[in-house]
Amino acid sequence: MFIYLITLLNFNMKTCLKCGIEKQDSDFYVYRGKKPRVDANCKPCSGAYTRKYAMRFHAKLRKEVLDAYGSECWCCGEDEIKFLSIDHKLGGGVQHRKKLTEDGTTLYLWLRKNKFPKGYQVLCHNCNLAKGFYGSCPHKY
């Protein structure tokens, strides 16, 4: 009788392959399709993996785009990747980013997809903000 009750209580339980903790089926993503299946990792472990993968993908994509446009600030020469950004040379960056967000993409993906078009440059965040707020950067004028 006791074993039967334990079996009933554990009927909807599954062990996560990542953390090794036994959890309820509702703690796992269910993939529906031709062959429906339950994820092998629980939702928190699956989310952590997805975030880690997304961060690596974004960092690699960002480096690829910055390298394509010169890898250093066009204005002051800063080359620390953490300080660099892509600038729309002729302005209009806010509107362009809004349009891309509506399409569900990012500027970096768009630039790569469009084979790194002209009209963009690398600026450090300081020079980019100065250009946006004051019309030009103090380094150049």
pLDDT tens for residues 63-85? 999 999 999 999 999 999 999 99
pTM for the complete prediction? Answer: 0.71
Same domain, 82 and 129: yes
In the structure, what pLDDT confidence band is assigned to residue 132 with cuts at 50, 70 and 90?
Answer: confident
- Structural domain containing residue 128: 72-141
The total of structural domains in the chain comes to 2
The verdict on residue 20 lying in a domain is yes
Q: Are strands 84-88 and 22-24 parallel, antiparallel or unpaired?
A: unpaired
Question: For residues 62 and 108, is the Cβ–Cβ distance under 8 A?
Answer: yes
Question: How far is the C-alpha of 141 from the C-alpha of 135, rounded, in Å?
Answer: 10
Q: How much of the chain exceeds pLDDT 70, in percent?
A: 90
Residue 27: DSSP 8-state: G
How do strand 37-42 and strand 84-88 relate by DSSP bridges? unpaired
Q: Are residues 63 and 89 in the same domain?
A: no
Q: Quick one: 64 and 77 in the same domain?
A: no
- Do residues 89 and 53 share a domain? no
- 101-115 tens-digit pLDDT: 877 678 999 999 999
